[in-house]
Amino acid sequence: MQIPRLGRDGLTIYLLRQLQSLFPDGHDARAVLDARLDEALRRLARCIDSVCVWAPGRFDVLHSTQYALFLYYLGNTLWRHGDDMHAATKLFLLNKALNGIDCFHEIELPERLFIGHTVGIVLAKATYGDRLVLYQNCTVGKNHGIAPVLEDGVVLYPNSAVIGRSRVRAGSVLAQGCSVVNRDTPGGTAVFNGNGGELVFKPLAAPLLQTIFRD
């Protein structure tokens, strides 16, 4: 994958300088980051290549959403291998500081994923399906320790939330400001807040995912 201005080795140096600047604790993560970098970049490449508005095969560290995804995939790759959790935690904190996203490395996100804007996104350790779409200030959270399930092709528009014992079925599109709390959605519909806390489900006006993802 092309990494403008830096290349693969320059990316490692770039990342290490950021970590050392924000977390000057003397911990040297160079070896573990270098060992897992290629796997994380392969995962990132699958994500970038699936999104219509992003140039395939090109990762720009100055594209904040792409960089946020890179930090997540790298931290999650470390966690999958049981590697340096101190380094994984610092990647999580770096992502939070730079991009305003709260997404811990233990969370399993799909590799076909689009984030419109990262600011204010909070993701609990829930179940996330393929072709997930997230926008700013959306929240996925637990209620009394119970996490929701988001099936394939779910879209969360700004300021929407899925909380607790909820199942958001495939193809659900949560409208701006919509909250699904301990509720299910039927799938394949737009979801709105109704009166008295009820949810309103309406047919989708047009296919949405095919305008976001290539496959």
Q: What pLDDT score does 138 carry? A: 98
Task: Please name which of 59, 61, 45 lies closest in space to residue 112, comparing C-alpha atoms.
Answer: 45
Task: Please name which of 8, 29, 7 lies closest in space to residue 18, comparing C-alpha atoms.
Answer: 29
Assign 205 a pLDDT band (cuts: 50, 70, 90): confident
Q: What are the pLDDT digits (tens) for 136-171?
A: 999 999 999 999 999 999 999 999 999 999 999 999
Task: Please tell me the distance from the alpha carbon of residue 25 to that of residue 33, in angstroms, as a whole number.
Answer: 17
Q: What pLDDT score does 182 carry? A: 96
Q: What pLDDT score does 48 carry? A: 98
Task: Please tell me the distance from the alpha carbon of residue 130 to that of residue 15, in angstroms, as a whole number.
Answer: 28
Contact present, 175 and 161 (Cβ < 8 Å): no
Q: What pLDDT score does 94 carry? A: 98
CATH class held by domain 113-211: mainly beta
Q: What are the pLDDT digits (tens) for 72-114?
A: 999 999 999 998 999 999 999 999 999 999 999 999 999 999 9
Does residue 196 carry a pLDDT above 90?
Answer: no
Q: What are the pLDDT digits (tens) for 125-144?
A: 999 999 999 999 999 999 99
Q: Of the given ranges (50-64, 150-164, 193-207), which has the lowest mean pLDDT?
A: 193-207
Q: Which two tokens stand for residue 137?
A: 């200030």
Q: For residue 6, what is the DSSP state?
A: T
Q: What pLDDT score does 26 carry? A: 93
Q: Which two tokens stand for residue 79?
A: 């966690």
Does residue 197 carry a pLDDT above 90?
Answer: no
What 3-state DSSP class applies to 30? helix
SS3 annotation, 126-166: CEECCCEEECCCCEEECECCECCEECCCCEECCCCEEECCC
The domain spans of the chain are: 7-100, 113-211
First to last CA, the chain: 19
Burial of 16 (0-12, 13-18, 19+ CB in 10 A): middle
